[in-house]
Amino acid sequence: MDSPASTPPSAVVLLSGGLDSATCLAIAKAEGFSVHAISFRYGQRHLEELRRASRLAKQAGVVSHRVIDIDLGQLGGSALTDETIGVPKADSVDQIGDEIPVTYVPARNTIFLSYALAVAETTGSHDLFIGVNALDYSGYPDCRPEFIEAFEAMARLATKDGVEGNQPLTIHTPLIDLTKAQIIARGLELGVDYSLTLSCYDPVPEGGADGAVKPCGRCDACLLRDKGFRENGMSDPSLAG
Amino acid sequence: MDSPASTPPSAVVLLSGGLDSATCLAIAKAEGFSVHAISFRYGQRHLEELRRASRLAKQAGVVSHRVIDIDLGQLGGSALTDETIGVPKADSVDQIGDEIPVTYVPARNTIFLSYALAVAETTGSHDLFIGVNALDYSGYPDCRPEFIEAFEAMARLATKDGVEGNQPLTIHTPLIDLTKAQIIARGLELGVDYSLTLSCYDPVPEGGADGAVKPCGRCDACLLRDKGFRENGMSDPSLAG
């Protein structure tokens, strides 16, 4: 660590406003990093998750929080960005298929990590946290460990650090081997306020003037999350009230 | 090739409107690909190169041309996107330094290629052309062959094709080992109209109401280009008139 003891090293954390990234942020803080958080406005069906990301970032005391506009919507091909494709619903996690779901966004994590790499370079950070998960990942190709390893290898060649022989970039995936229940248990230990997080792919307007929404309770993300809280002997605090 | 003979395979071509990408587009067409071109509006100091890209795409008869808005400007750190950093000028190529120049945009090619990967996935393309050049690249880390190889390895794991065992993505860099003079010679053979291209980092307004600009003639890009045309026994057609 070449930073003086009085200046903690900085890390870039991808923060969506969901359960996984909120936990990832808490882990980065617990490991002693000062955090540059980044979120994306990428043509999501709803922007509530960005409001949640802002509140989580503020609560965690990050150094900076960038919300970067990117237009994945014009690329099409995902239920998360294309209104003409329905979000699949089910009654339990057992009904979630093995194939790559329509909620997959083409090359999304590659694009997100590329921006994170740019932020890492401009902020002098050598560490990058992303809350991908290989167990509950519902078949997304860009949540697999081999993808993350290949991105890290590429990233180490992509920037000035790679040419100048500086400390290489490390991509941290602290959640990659955890079940949703284990992720929640870790976050609870670290004091994550899960009532602030929103994971739902298709939230329902609550009808108020503030545009607040509540989780649908039946998309893959809601079902996996519900199961995780139940395995911790509690109900999802984002569903309370 | 699993396309029927009557349907040429498609490729994604990164098209900036400069000399290199115009040549790259012509090479992709000459190799029999139908082309999905993509350009980026990324906080450039000038947008003339996007107008040139549109004209080049139209002239080449591409299947589609996407102009994708991305905000590299808010990341800062480059003379190409930050008005407070001056573009370096010189009188000859001998004065161009060996270090990474201030015109380097952090992680730019990584971000560009990531979008190209998304377009490849949504258009069913397995080929991607980028006009990077390792000889005249002025020290940009993300123009090196080892970076491109690492990106290709990552990209093959990043998408549905990588999971489903389909034809893997190939990144074509037909200019990577060519001098500027050789690139121009190849483009002239293929009929590229170089008067349409604009490579200058810092073009000068011509003063007309149409916002037209002319090359400055003294940035790295202008100097390298001028030398390339002179080595082909001609002057730069974009400087004519």
ipTM of the complex: 0.83
CB atoms within 10 A of CB A44: 18
Q: How many CA atoms lie within 13 A of A22 on its CB side?
A: 29
CB A41 within 8 A of CB A69: yes
Which residues from B are below 8 Å from A153, CB to CB?
150, 153-154
In a domain, B127, yes or no: yes
Strand, coil or helix: what is A120?
A: helix
Domain containing residue B80: 10-234
Q: Which residue from A66, A122, A151 is facing B154, i.e. has the nearest CB? A: A151
How close A40 gets to chain B, by Cα (Å)? 11
Q: Which residue from A71, A77, A121 is facing B69, i.e. has the nearest CB? A: A71
Q: How many domains does chain B have?
A: 1
Looking up tokens 């390339």, which residue turns up?
B228
Residue B220 β-bridge partners: none
In a domain, B239, yes or no: no
Structure tokens at A203: 């939230």
Q: What is the pLDDT along chain B (241 residues), one digit of tens a residue?
A: 454 557 899 999 999 999 999 999 999 999 999 999 999 887 766 788 899 999 999 999 999 999 888 876 666 555 545 555 555 556 665 655 555 555 556 788 999 999 999 999 888 999 999 999 877 655 678 888 999 999 999 999 988 776 677 788 999 999 999 999 999 999 999 999 999 998 887 888 888 777 778 888 888 888 889 999 999 999 999 876 5
Subunit contact A163:B76, Cβ cutoff 8 A: no
Q: Is B128 on the interface with A (CB under 8 A)?
A: no
**Residue A10 DSSP one-character state:** E
In a domain, A143, yes or no: yes
Structure tokens at B237: 């057609």
Query: Domain containing B61 — which CATH number?
Result: 3.40.50.620
Q: Is A84 on the interface with B (CB under 8 A)?
A: no
pTM for this one? 0.85
Subunit contact B157:A139, Cβ cutoff 8 A: no
Subunit contact A72:B147, Cβ cutoff 8 A: no
How close A99 gets to chain B, by Cα (Å)? 10
How close B39 gets to chain A, by Cα (Å)? 13
In a domain, B240, yes or no: no
Q: What is the pLDDT along chain A (241 residues), one digit of tens a residue?
A: 454 557 899 999 999 999 999 999 999 999 999 999 999 887 766 778 899 999 999 999 999 999 888 876 666 555 545 555 555 556 665 655 555 555 556 788 999 999 999 999 888 999 999 999 877 655 678 888 999 999 999 999 988 776 677 788 999 999 999 999 999 999 999 999 999 998 887 888 888 777 778 888 888 888 889 999 999 999 999 876 5
In a domain, B177, yes or no: yes
pLDDT at B146: 92
CB B77 within 8 A of CB B41: no
In a domain, A235, yes or no: no
In a domain, B2, yes or no: no
CB atoms within 10 A of CB A185: 15
> Alpha-carbon distance A173 to A109, whole Å?
13
Radius of gyration of chain A (CA): 18
In a domain, B1, yes or no: no
Q: Maximum CA pair distance of chain B?
A: 55
Distance in angstroms between the alpha carbons of the first and the last residue of chain B: 46
